[in-house]
Amino acid sequence: MHSAPDRNISELLPMKTRRKPRIGLVAGGLGTYWPQFPALLPQLQESSRYVSDRFAEMDAEVTDVGFISDAQEGAAAAEELRRADCDLIVLFLTTYLTASMVLPIAQRSGAPVLVIDLQPTEKMDHASFTTGEWLAYCGQCPVPEVGNVFRRAGIPFRSVSGWLRQESAWHRIEQWIAAAHVRAALRHARHGLMGHLYPGMLDVSTDLTLLPATFGSHVEVLEFDDLRVRIDAVSEAETAERIGLARELFTVDDSVKEEDFAWGARVSVALDRLIDDFDLDSLAYYHRGLDGELHERIGAGMILGASLLTARGIPATGEFELRTTVAQLASQVIGAGGSFCEIQALNFEDNVVEMGHDGPAHLAVSARDPLLRGLGVYHGKRGWGVSVEFDVQQGPVTLLGLGQDADGTLSFVVSEGTAVPGPLLQIGNTTTRVDFARDPGEWVDAWSATGVGHHWSLSTGSRAETYRAAASLLGIDYREV
């Protein structure tokens, strides 16, 4: 067995850069107060500047349209935010305002809206406050009004209430910004779909119109020949260079045959070119093949290259799993990894669900140096070659699947658990043992009843609230087990 050096994966595999989420920011209060209480507006504008500065520090493009004081200014802000093509608009209610001031923003901007109300400090100084000082603390007052009017207008309502420097409130706000990363990624994603459905996997089958209709993304239909011609163009020097990269990233097991390793490296170089040529954000693929012919060898040789792409933030997944690749992309853009996964077995003695998958893996979620193992057969598939094996980092994990209902609508299906230590199969699979704090059989029953398929994204950390927020921004159902 040949060990890989201890190198940072991100140094060797630069991440794909994507369009950042566009956040619209507008603050407001009722202009009637300004001549009545001259010190009020400057105080509220100072709070608004603090909020603007916090948003400027986030990993997003922020369009700050300033402070509105009446319905006319609200309408002008709505037009400016409409032109900005926002993924999320944040309304900062600094004091009381009327719903007429902010309704046009929600109606005309074409983006979901988050209402925030952050009073200056934890509490008022009741002994010294006059009406003017109090008004700086009543941003919560119009929140029910805005919620009522949004509901009557058919607009989803979301809010975060707190005080200006309350980090727990800012954590909740940042979860909505993370959700905007998901919305931005899925709105503009180009998903590659290459090959054909694994015969009989009816749950995997996806209407190609569904993703552009639901999210606005694009599905590029590819042929295996699109990859074949690029493999033909890969040089021996490029293949050798890719083998060297793989040796830096992986521990290479003695079971790996050099000819299979070289073939996987060559396919990997061609996959990179395919991704670049079609400007893809993800790739789902499958080809059955027959008797060792070329297309069978290509399909069997994709695991190394697909794992390297996934580590670069471009999920590449087997078994034609378009919806799960979308879930992996959602996990990826919030920094949670996102490895292809299914149930492997249940351990009723240790109270865990064992899950993982053969084929492509997300190297960033590995608990140790990932292993390249040579396999003479891929279970359920034709071909042979090199596969990736590792166990997932211990600690909190969150599953994200993309379910589909009878009417065709999509949903985010989520479950949080803990990756725990214990014995794992050594068969060229990514494997982890997840404790869901309940009987494993009962968990499987509840999970299977949600409409999720038999694959999903395994992400690190406790991410349920972020996925819940993302589902809200995407306008799809959210189900948690």
Q: Mind listing the pLDDT tens digit for each residue in 454-467? A: 999 999 999 999 99
Which part of the chain has CATH 3.40.50.10940?
22-186
Residue 365: predicted pLDDT:
75
Coil, strand, or helix at residue 101?
Answer: helix
Burial class (CB in 10 A: 0-12, 13-18, 19+), 415: buried
For 367-425, the DSSP string reads SS--EEEEES-BTTBS--EEEEEEEBPSEEEEEEEEEE-TTS-EEEEEEEEEEE-----
Residue 3: predicted pLDDT:
46
Distance between CA atoms of 388 and 430, rounded to whole angstroms?
A: 7
Q: Which residues contact 317 (CB under 8 A, 6 or more apart)?
A: 282, 283, 284, 285, 306, 310, 324, 325, 328, 340, 359, 360, 455
Nearest to 90 by CA among 168, 162, 22: 22
Distance between CA atoms of 388 and 307, rounded to whole angstroms?
A: 8
Which part of the chain has CATH 3.20.14?
189-480
Q: Chain-centre distance of CA 307, in angstroms? A: 17
If one counts every other C-beta atom within 10 angstroms of the C-beta of residue 87, the result is: 27
Residue 5: predicted pLDDT:
43
The pLDDT tens digits of the residues spanning 358-408 come to 667 677 777 677 878 887 555 555 455 677 777 778 899 999 999 999 998
Distance between CA atoms of 309 and 294, rounded to whole angstroms?
A: 22
Task: Tell me the β-bridge partners of 89.
Answer: 24, 113
Q: Which residues contact 177 (CB under 8 A, 6 or more apart)?
A: 21, 23, 58, 59, 60, 88
Distance between CA atoms of 21 and 185, rounded to whole angstroms?
A: 8
Residue 428: predicted pLDDT:
58
Question: Which fold, 189-480?
Answer: L-fucose Isomerase; Chain A, domain 3 (3.20.14)
Low-confidence ranges of the chain (pLDDT < 50): 3-6, 382
Backbone angles phi, psi at 197, to 5 degrees: -60, 140
Nearest to 239 by CA among 274, 271, 268: 268
Buried b (16+ CB within 10 A) or exposed e, 447-474: beebbbbebbbbbbbebbbbbbbbbbbb
Q: Chain-centre distance of CA 388, in angstroms? A: 23
Percent of residues in the chain assigned helix, strand, coil, to nearest 5: 40, 25, 35
Question: Which fold, 22-186?
Answer: Rossmann fold (3.40.50)
Distance between CA atoms of 414 and 337, rounded to whole angstroms?
A: 15
